[in-house]
């Protein structure tokens, strides 16, 4: 069975700190790994990663994939209160239209 595990489950840091969120996976026929940010309601797309070692960046957020170790990290530098959210990691595989989601990391930024 496909599996996505995120850690930590929750994290509380002060504004300005840097955080690293982890996502490990076990899936057959891996195709891509996606990160989503979920504030109060709908998840919003952050990154999609398909190749090892290539960093994707968007402002203070960056992410990288290691297909050998079956692992991805999401980094957020100089955190702001608006970064408080649940961050979801999901993995897709070839052969079926299915995304397997992790349970998410709840990030809280204290002013």
Partner 1 sequence: NAGVTQTPKFRILKIGQSMTLQCTQDMNHNYMYWYRQDPGMGLKLIYYSVGAGITDKGEVPNGYNVSRSTTEDFPLRLELAAPSQTSVYFCASSSGGLNTEAFFGQGTRLTVV
* Structure token digits, residue 32: 């891509």
Smallest distance, Å, CB 104 to partner 1?
Answer: 6
Q: Which residue, 29, 50, 41, 27, is CA-closest to 101?
A: 27
Stretch that binds partner 1, among 19-27, 28-36, 57-65, 74-82 (CB under 8 A): 28-36
Residue 102 makes contact with partner 1 by CB under 8 A: yes
Lookup: tokens for 97? 């239209």
Query: Is 97 a residue that touches partner 1 (CB under 8 A)?
Result: yes
Taking CB under 8 A as the criterion, the residue among 48, 61, 70, 73 binding partner 1 is 48
Q: Does 45 interact with partner 1 (rule: CB under 8 A)?
A: yes
Task: Select from 72, 79, 92, 105 the one that contacts partner 1 (CB under 8 A).
Answer: 92
Q: Which residues bind partner 1 (CB under 8 A)?
A: 4, 31-32, 34, 41-45, 48, 50, 88, 90, 92, 97-104
């Amino acid at each position: 069975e496909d599996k996505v595990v995120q850690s930590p489950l929750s994290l509380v840091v002060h504004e300005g700190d840097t955080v690293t969120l982890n996502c490990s996976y076990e899936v057959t026929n891996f195709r891509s790994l996606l990160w989503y940010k979920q504030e109060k309601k709908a998840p919003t797309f952050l990154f999609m990663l398909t190749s090892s070692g290539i960093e994707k960046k968007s402002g203070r957020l960056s992410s990288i994939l290691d297909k050998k170790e079956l692992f991805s990290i999401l980094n957020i530098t100089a955190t702001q209160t608006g970064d408080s959210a649940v961050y979801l990691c999901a993995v897709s595989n070839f052969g079926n239209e299915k995304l397997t989601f992790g349970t998410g990391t709840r990030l809280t930024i204290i002013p």
